[in-house]
């Protein structure tokens, strides 16, 4: 009798689990201009709502990342938002909150080597079945020392005219030096494109993204405003 009861209970649990998985696989995104409607991942919440991720999923790393993707509440006919191809994000969920962490390589390792770091974290959660969003810049990014800032500024001043790929390394270093509080680095960064005549295309886009990131940093409450 006990064995029969346990088998029946296991059968119910298994069928319930399979039903939940089936619901997740059926959840997708509404038709939109950015991505297809098939979900690469689905994050469930305790209010019986779920958010689907549709777009490009990169599984090369230990933790999957997403780019050129949308988020959508399952069953709704509009997307929450779209993250374009210039953005790489890691998505995790904890305590009924979806965390969208934007990952960006910055020259903050030893000898100005590039290291992937969390640039922003956006929290997405439900309140009374309404989606809420809160985004913040990572204030814990490593700052340059006074000696490192001096080295970056000297590299910028001594750089020859004309553009080549190595100049973008200087742009990234000036960006971090500006985050570290250097007004001179901020001025040098803002005049960088004109000084080196950055060509249109990928490099110009990279510089544009860095400018937008600097504006995000300046706008966030709690950061010292970097002014010219």
CA 52 – CA 74 distance, rounded (Å): 6
The DSSP bridge partners found for residue 182 are none
Span 93-122, average pLDDT: 97
Q: Does the pLDDT value for residue 22 go beyond 60?
A: no
> Looking at residue 220, what is its pLDDT?
86
Please give the radius of gyration of the chain, using alpha carbons only, rounded to the nearest integer.
23
222 confidence band (pLDDT: 50, 70, 90) = low
- Split at pLDDT 50, 70, 90, the class of 221 is low
Pairing of strands 97-106, 41-44: unpaired
| Contact of 68 with 35, CB cutoff 8 Å | yes
Mean pLDDT throughout 23-27? 60
Q: How many CB atoms lie within 10 A of CB 103?
A: 17
**Domain ranges for the chain:** 2-137, 146-219
> Which segments within 107-217 are labelled E, that is strand?
115-127, 130-137
Q: Return the ∠ at Cα 95 (arms to 94 and 98), rounded to 5°.
A: 50
Least confident segment among 48-62, 73-87, 162-176, 209-223: 209-223
Least confident residue range of 25-34, 89-98, 173-182, 215-224 = 215-224
Does 150 score more than 80 pLDDT?
A: yes
Q: From CA 51, how far away is CA 123, in angstroms rounded?
A: 13
- Paired with 100 in beta bridges are 91, 122
CB contact set of 65 (below 8 Å; sequence gap of 6+): 57, 58, 88, 89, 90, 103
The confidence score (pLDDT) of residue 223 equals 59
Angle among Cα 188, 191, 192 to the nearest 5 degrees reads 80
Smallest CA-to-CA distance from 176 within 188, 185, 165, 167 is with 185
pLDDT in tens, 155-188: 999 999 889 999 999 999 999 999 999 999 999 9
Q: What is the mean pLDDT of residues 9-28?
A: 44
């Amino acid at each position: 009798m006990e064995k029969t009861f346990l088998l029946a209970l296991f059968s119910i649990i298994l069928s319930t689990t399979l039903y939940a998985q089936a619901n997740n696989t059926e959840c997708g995104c509404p038709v939109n201009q950015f991505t297809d409607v098939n979900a690469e991942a689905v994050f469930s919440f305790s209010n019986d709502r779920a958010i689907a991720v549709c777009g490009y999923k990169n599984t090369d790393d230990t933790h999957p990342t997403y780019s050129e993707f949308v988020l959508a509440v399952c069953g709704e006919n509009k997307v929450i938002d779209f993250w374009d191809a210039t953005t790489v994000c890691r998505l995790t969920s904890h305590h009924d909150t979806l965390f969208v962490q934007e990952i960006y390589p910055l020259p903050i390792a030893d000898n100005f080597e590039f290291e992937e770091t969390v640039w922003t974290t956006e929290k997405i959660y439900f309140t009374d079945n309404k989606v809420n969003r809160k985004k913040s810049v990572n204030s814990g990014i490593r700052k340059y020392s006074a000696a490192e800032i001096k080295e970056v500024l000297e590299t910028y001043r001594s750089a020859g005219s004309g553009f080549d790929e190595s100049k973008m390394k200087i742009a990234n270093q000036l960006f971090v030096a500006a985050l570290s509080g250097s007004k001179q680095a901020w001025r040098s960064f803002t005049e960088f494109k004109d000084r080196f005549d950055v060509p249109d295309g990928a490099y110009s886009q990279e510089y544009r993204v860095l400018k937008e990131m600097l504006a995000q940093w300046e706008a966030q409450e709690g950061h010292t405003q970097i002014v010219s």
